[in-house]
Chain A
Amino acid sequence: MLQLLLLFLCAIPFPAWTGAPTSLLGEPNDGSFILSIKGPGGVHDPVTGDGYEVTVVLETQEEGQEEPECAVHSQPIPEGTTPAAAAAAIRAGLQAAGVPAANITVTDATVIVTGDINAGGVGQTSSSTAKASGVAYQGAENLDPKKKAFKKKLEESGAQGGAWVSNAANLRLAVTGFDSASEPAVDSVWIVIPAGLTAAQVDALILTNLNDAGWVATNPALNALDVFAGATVVDLRSSLTLLDGDPGFLAYSGIYPDLN
Chain B
Amino acid sequence: MFKTLTTAIFLLATLAWASSATLSSTSRHPGTGSDNVVAFDVICHLEIIDAEWSAKITVDRPNLDSIQLTVPFPNGTTEDAMATAVALAINHAADAQIATVEEDVAGPDKVVLSGDASVSASTWLMDEQPGPSDGHIKVIHSNKPTGPLVVPNVLWIEMTLQPFRGADILFTLTLQGKKPSGAPYLKSGSLQVDEDDSLAQAAQKIVNKLNQSGFNASVIPSGVRVDAVPGGPTIENYLVSIDGVLAEDASKPIHYGLKVDHGA
Contacts and interface: CB of A to CB of B under 8 A. Distances in A.
Contacts of A140: 67-69, 93-94
Contacts of A42: 45-47
Contacts, number: 138
B163 A36 contact: no
B248 interface: no
Contacts of A237: 69-70
A176 B89 CA distance: 16
Given A36-B76, A137-B70, A107 B84 contact: yes
Contacts of A177: 70
Interface string B52-74: 10101000000001111111111
A43 B74 CA distance: 13
Contacts of A238: 54, 70-72
Interface in B179-221: none
Nearest to A239: B72
Interface stretch (A92-100, A181-189, A203-211): A181-189
Interface string A133-144: 111010111100
A38 interface: yes
A90 interface: no
Interface residues of B, number: 42
B54 A108 contact: no
Interface string A196-217: 0000000000000000000000
Say which size band chain A's interface belongs to.
35 or more
Nearest to B128: A188
A221 to B, nearest CB: 27
**A interface SS class:** strand
B75 A131 contact: yes
Interface string B126-140: 111110000000000
Contacts of A242: 52
A35 interface: yes
Contacts of A240: 52, 72, 74, 126
B75 A36 contact: yes
A186 B75 contact: no
B81 to A, nearest CB: 4
Contact of B92 (A43, A114, A172): A114
Contacts of B47: 38, 42-43, 108-109
A11 B128 CA distance: 37
A190 interface: yes
